[in-house]
Amino acid sequence: WDSKNCGRNIVVIFDNPSIATRKPASRCTDAIRGCHGYLIGYHVFSFEFNDKPWGSHCMVGICTRKTPLQADDYCHLIGADKYSWGWDIPSRTLYHKGKAQGPFPVNPDLSSIPRSFSMIVDLFNGILLFDFGEERIEEAFTGETHKCFLCLFIREIWFFRYECWKTSSVPRCVARLRVFSCTDHERKCETLQQSAGIECW
């Protein structure tokens, strides 16, 4: 996590920057970016959440540097414009251009979201997927519009996750992030299999 690119209530653990959480604060929304942006490549963001409540607007997704990291109300920061794509985990809803894009995941076997999962960003083909383990992989966003944006129209793509406010009596949700990347199209599967233990297709 990037401690210099986050909302004022986000805390990155000093001696373990792969872990981020949020201080209790009312009537606001905070966000945090990863440390690196990407223009090309095949990238796997592996998340591990603790067993505390998700919160009302816990999201993961991708966006540009221009996406705001703070709002003075409750909102979906990620997916609010045409330059970001987000997934609201508690409501199981995808967001893009400020509008809900439908339920996700649609797999009936995923009645509950596991606390560990991976977000896969394929910038070669403009596809955003999620891997929930046990061969349960689903596409969240795909198509020529997304492909053009991800690969050609902007300089960098940033990972993004935020957690909305909870009262101080409710334990905070903590997120751990690991990143595996490959920019060689021909070797992407072999590289990621070795580093992340993920079965590629």
Q: What pLDDT score does 131 carry? A: 92
Domain region containing 102: 10-196
Domain harbouring 68, CATH code: 2.60.120.920
Is residue 2 domain-resident?
Answer: no
Q: What pLDDT score does 76 carry? A: 85
- In degrees, rounded to 5, the angle at the alpha carbon of residue 40 between the alpha carbons of residues 5 and 102 is 75
Prior bond of 17 cis (ω within 30°): no
Q: What does the pLDDT look like over 153-181, one tens digit per residue?
A: 333 344 444 333 333 333 455 666 666 65
- In degrees, rounded to 5, the angle at the alpha carbon of residue 137 between the alpha carbons of residues 135 and 143 is 150
Q: Tokens for 47?
A: 């998340």
Is residue 159 domain-resident?
Answer: yes
Is residue 150 domain-resident?
Answer: yes
The total of structural domains in the chain comes to 1
Q: What pLDDT score does 79 carry? A: 87
Is residue 4 domain-resident?
Answer: no
Q: What pLDDT score does 184 carry? A: 62
Q: What pLDDT score does 77 carry? A: 84
Is residue 5 domain-resident?
Answer: no
pTM of the model: 0.76
Regions of the chain where pLDDT drops below 70: 52-53, 55, 144-201
Q: What pLDDT score does 179 carry? A: 64
Q: What pLDDT score does 198 carry? A: 39
